[in-house]
Amino acid sequence: MNRPANGSDFSKAAPTTVRDDAAVDDPAEFFGQWRDAEPLRYDDDWSGWVVTGYPEAVEVLMSPSYSAKRLPRLAGDDPASRRVLHLLERWIVFMDPPDHRRLRTLMASAFTPRAIEVLRPTMRRLAIAAAEALPSGTSTDVISKFAFPFPAHVIAAMLDVPDSEISKFGTLSDAVATLIHAGDRPTATTVRSFLDLEDFLRRHIEAKSSDLGNDILSNLIRARDDEDRLDQDELVASCILLLFAGHETTKNLIGNMLFLLAQRPDLWSFLRDNRSALPTAVEEFLRFEGPAKATVRIVGDSTTVLSGKALRPGERVLVVLASANRDPRKFSEPNQFDPVRAPNSHLGFGVGIHYCLGAALVRAEAAIALEAIFDRFSSLEVSSAAPRWQRRLLNRGLEELHICGAAA
């Protein structure tokens, strides 16, 4: 990394591309510098615009001038890769209105706060089981032993997917992350694991079709069969999306929360003793170290002016939620973690029509996970050298987090 000692020109003084390691290791610092100098700039190396300020991020995410259809560059040219792309194009996160509206409305009812409330006892049971399986007094990786299995079991229960399938989620996540984060062509392995899951889900859906209940999968099947509002590929693709989104980002959030808590005994004690502060604390974790570091949009059919600059049709825009969430124009003391911050209009779930469908689920899972950990341990310590952050541009999450907890 070149960093001239006396660079008064910002573009020479700091890393000039989001591909820099610093964007992964310390995104708050890296993107914070960009935001404070120039909340919208063009990254020649990444070949796209980078939005790092709060009002600018909100403007992009709220405006119909930007498209969420950001997949075409990933297209591989063999039939299997095209099949994967075909399914990914049916994910609501990559759709624009009006198709987005139709699918989103279908799925939204399963994720309202009222619907999630019903799942709380199941979530508590799964969180307690996962926490009690953690050893005390010895080092353990809480990412693979807690942050992953807890939300994975919750979303599996919601879709009535057997536990035996859960071990495959990790491969699915790697596959999807490689596809949508790296922007690479799909590898043979990622394609195969994706299509294996498709096969499983087709069989699962057909078996389920003759035994419908009140769960989300049954409701989606009814939408396909009775109302013709959802076709078969959309149904399968939506299930893959729910399985992926339902565990991957929550895993990262739980890991980020535990990492921060293990480094901040004061915060650990405060929240452990003041459980009523958990809802605002969860919002602050989402703002301060949320799992969605950035998201991508494509400029639509006409040139769009943002922050005094002209963005041309087809250009891509990286919207950095992590630095918007630390924007001093929006948040006082943005680099301080305030467990009772209110209001807290963070962009951890995005904003606008693509606002995280699972937000209520994530909020419940995060608080329930912390409660289970507080009940299991009286204190936590990071027991390995500096944990490594996933080398992802869009995600903020730890690869592993070895922690030693004292039994409560």
The binder of other proteins chosen from 11, 17, 112, 335 (CB under 8 A): 112
Beta bridge partners of 318: 50, 296
Question: How far is 206 from 289, CA to CA, in rounded Å?
Answer: 40
* Contact yes or no for 268/380 (Cβ under 8 A): yes
Question: How far is 243 from 238, CA to CA, in rounded Å?
Answer: 9
Does 231 bind other proteins (CB under 8 A)? Our answer is: no
Shortest separation between residue 100's beta carbon and other proteins, angstroms: 9
Question: How far is 172 from 191, CA to CA, in rounded Å?
Answer: 10
Does 212 bind other proteins (CB under 8 A)? Our answer is: no
Measured CA distances, 319 to 3, 35, 81, 295, 347 (Å) = 25, 11, 27, 5, 10
- Between 267 and 359, CB nearer to other proteins: 359
Q: Which stretch binds other proteins (CB under 8 A): 14-22, 61-69, 122-130, 260-268?
A: 61-69
The binder of other proteins chosen from 122, 355, 388, 406 (CB under 8 A): 355
The binder of other proteins chosen from 11, 17, 47, 105 (CB under 8 A): 105
Question: How far is 322 from 309, CA to CA, in rounded Å?
Answer: 22
Query: Would you state the torsion angle of the CA atoms of residues 177, 182, 188, 191, taken in this order, to the nearest 10 degrees?
Result: 40
Does 218 bind other proteins (CB under 8 A)? Our answer is: no
Q: Which stretch binds other proteins (CB under 8 A): 57-65, 193-201, 262-270, 287-295?
A: 57-65
* Contact yes or no for 380/140 (Cβ under 8 A): no
Q: Residues in contact with other proteins, total (CB under 8 A)? A: 27
Does 61 bind other proteins (CB under 8 A)? Our answer is: yes
Beta bridge partners of 389: 398
Shortest separation between residue 343's beta carbon and other proteins, angstroms: 4
The binder of other proteins chosen from 58, 143, 235, 318 (CB under 8 A): 58
The binder of other proteins chosen from 73, 101, 203, 388 (CB under 8 A): 101
Does 285 bind other proteins (CB under 8 A)? Our answer is: no
Give the number of other CB atoms < 10 A from CB of residue 4.
10
Shortest separation between residue 223's beta carbon and other proteins, angstroms: 10
- Kindly provide the b/e burial profile for residues 256-295, where b requires at least 16 CB atoms within 10 angstroms of the residue's own CB: bbbbbbbeeeebbeebbeeeeebebbbbbbbbbbbbbbbb
Shortest separation between residue 288's beta carbon and other proteins, angstroms: 16
Shortest separation between residue 64's beta carbon and other proteins, angstroms: 8
* Stretch 255-274 residues interacting with other proteins (CB under 8 A): none
Question: How far is 346 from 343, CA to CA, in rounded Å?
Answer: 9
Which stretches of 181-231 are DSSP H helices? Answer: 188-209, 216-225
Binding mask 327-346 toward other proteins (x if CB under 8 A, else -) reads ----------------xxx-
- Between 100 and 124, CB nearer to other proteins: 100
Binding site for other proteins (CB under 8 A): 58, 61-64, 101-102, 104-105, 108-109, 111-114, 229, 343-345, 349, 351-353, 355, 357, 359-360
